[in-house]
Structure 1
Amino acid sequence: MSESMVRRWVREFKAGRHSLEDESERGRPSVVTDQLVAKVDSAVRGDRRSTVDEFHECFPEISRSFIHEIVSDKLDFRKVCARWVPKELTPEHKSQRVAAAREFLGCYRMEGDPFLKSIVTGDETWVSHYTPENKRQSMQRKHTTSPSAKKFKVVKSTRKIMASVF
C-alpha cells in the first residue's frame, strides 16, 4: 500500500469511519441500467455477428468498454466460431446409412471374413473449389447455455472436378 493511501485511510478513520468495507453511496453512479441492458440484449439477439464497434454505432451514448461489459458480463455472451462439418445429413440419409450397415452386418454374420473381400463400392461426385468464409467472419455471439453452432460448407465456386472413388 502506498504512503498516500495510508494517509487517506488515517484521515477516514479520524473522521469517524468504523468499517473497512466500501460504502454503497460512494463513487460514481453506474450508467448501466436495466433498460439499457434490455436494449443491448435485443440488439445482440437481432444480429449475433455484430461487433462491439457496430453496437457502439447503435448506442453512441455508451462507451465501447461499457457495451463490452454489458454483453460479456451482464448478458453472459461469448464470441465463438462455428464448428465445421462436411455436410448436413437429412434424417432419410441417416436411416439409409443405418439400413445399409445392418444389411452388411447380417451378411458378415452369415458368410464371415470371405464376405468382406467381396465388397466393392464406388462413387462419383463433382468436387467444387470454394472459398469459405474465414473464422473471424463466421464468429457470432453465443450465450453460455446455448448449444454450439455448426456451419455447413455450402459456398461453392464455378471451378469443379470429377472425383471417382472405388
Structure 2
Amino acid sequence: MEPRQLRAIMLYEHNLGTSARQTAEKINTAFGQCTIAHSTVSYWFKSFDKGDTSCEDKPRSGRPVVFDEDLLRSHLERHPDATTRDLEKELGYDHSTIIRHLHAMGYHKIMSRWTPHALTDSERAARVTICESLLLQPHRQDFLRSIVTVDESWVHYNNKTRQAYWVLRGERAPTEPKGYWELLDEKQTINATICGEQLEKLAPEIATKRPKRLSVSLLQDNARPHTAKSVRHILEKLNWTVVPHPPYSPDIAPSDYLQIIRTHLGKELVIYDDHTYYCNVTSANGWKKYWRCTRGGGTRCCAARLHLSPDYKVMKIINEHRHPPPRFIVRNGVYTKIG
C-alpha cells in the first residue's frame, strides 16, 4: 500500500479519536503484520494534533536520490564556465556524482581560446572578403614564396586568467578577447620611425637571401606604426606589395601564431596560440615531427600536442589545454619564463 493511503487511514482514525496504538493494530490486522510501526503512527498523530493534516512527504534535507541530467544540462547551457563546486551548491548533488554524470553525458572541460578582439559583423565580413581575394590570387605559388612576415616581439604581462568551460566532446572551445602588453627596451616605444628603419635594414638582407626574387609581399598586422604615412612611403620606395590583412586577425598571420624560439640553454621551443611546446619525437632524418606542451609531467601533465611538417607548418593539433598560458618574455629569439 502506498504511504499516502496509509496516512489517509491514520488521519481518519485520528479524527475518530482512535489511539495511535489501536490504529497501528487495525492497519496491521487489515493489511498484514509489520505494515506499519506504532512509532510511525505516533509521529503522524503528533503532526495531526498540530493542525498539519497533509498526507504528503515533508521536504527533507540532504542530497537528491535521483540525478536529473536535464537540470544539469540546462544549467551548463546558461553557465558553461561553472565549476563542479558551483554545480554542487546550485543543484544539491555530490561533487563526485556531478563529475561522474558530466563524463557519462559526454562533457569534458577545456580552456577557452584567446582571441585578440571580439569581432563585429563588418570585421568578420572583411575577413571573408580578404581571404577570398587571396585564394583567387593569380600565380599563387610565386605569391606565397614572395611573402615576408613582420611582427614585434612581445611579452605576457599581468595575464588575465582564462576560464575553463564544459563542452561536449568534439566541440570547439569558446573564445575570449584578450589584450597584450608590449615591453621594449627601456625608454623606447614602437613607432612609425622605428618601423621604417627596420624595413630599410630588412630590404638589403632580403635581396641577399633572395637574389632571384624581385617581388616582396609584406604580411603584417594593422598596428598604427605599420600603417603610418611615413611607413607607406618607405614601402612604395622599396616597391613592396602589402598583403591585405583583416583587422584583429592574428590567427591568419603566420608571424603571430607560430614562433620558433630557443631557451637560454639552446633548447628549441615552438609558441602556438600563446602556449609553448617542445619536440618529444624526432624522426631518423631529423624531422621534428611531434611536439608536446611544456606543462610539467605527472598528474598535471598537459595533453596538448602539435604535429608539424618538416617546414614547421601545423598539420594537426590536439588543443586540450586545461591551464592558462605560461608567462614569458622573448627577446632576440631567446625564451625566458617569468613569474
TM-score of the pair, normalised by structure 1 = 0.50
Where structure 2 has 5 or more consecutive residues not aligned to the other structure, the ranges are 1-63, 200-339
Asked whether 1:38 is paired with 2:70, we answer yes
Structure 1 residue identity aligned to 2:125: P
Return the alpha-carbon distance in structure 1 between the equivalents of residues 71 and 134 of structure 2: 52
Verify: 1:96 aligned to 2:115, yes or no: no
Aligned to 2:94: 63
Change in Cα spacing, 1:140 to 1:152, as seen in structure 2 (3 Å) is: closer
Q: Aligned pair in 2 of structure 1 residues 129, 94: CA closer, same or farther (>3 Å)? A: farther
**Structure 1 residues 86, 104: CA separation in 2 closer, same or farther (over 3 Å shift)?**
farther
Match of 2:81 among 15, 28, 49: 49
Relative contact order (C-alpha < 8 Å, sep 6+): which is higher? 1
Corresponding residue for residue 21 of structure 1: none
The structural deviation recorded for 1:59 is: 2.0
Shift of the alpha carbon at 1:143?
Answer: 0.7
Q: Which has the larger radius of gyration?
A: 2
Question: In angstroms, what is the RMSD of aligned CA positions?
Answer: 4.1
Counterpart for residue 144 of structure 1: 169
Runs of 4+ with deviation above 6 angstroms: 86-89, 121-125
Following TM superposition, by how much is the alpha carbon of 1:122 offset from its aligned partner in structure 2, in angstroms?
9.4
SS in 2 for 1:142: strand
Relative to structure 1, the CA distance from residue 59 to residue 158 in structure 2 (aligned partners, 3 Å threshold; closer, same or farther) is same
SS at match of 1:162: coil
CA contact (8 A) 2:88 2:94 kept: yes
CA offset digits 1:9-64 (Å, max 9, x no partner): xxxxxxxxxxxxxxxxxxxxx9334xx1111111111111111100011123x211
Change (3 A) 1:131 1:90: farther
1:80 to 88, 92, 110: 110
Q: CA deviation at 1:132?
A: 4.0
The percentage of aligned residue pairs carrying the same residue is: 12
Return closer, same or farther for 1:128/1:40 CA change in 2, 3 Å cut-off: same
- Offset from partner CA, 1:57-96 (integer Å, 9 cap, x none): 1123x211111122221x2111012344667672323423
Higher helix share: 1
**Residue 133 of structure 1: aligned partner:** 160
- Are the counterparts in 1 of residues 114 and 178 from structure 2 also a CA contact under 8 Å? no
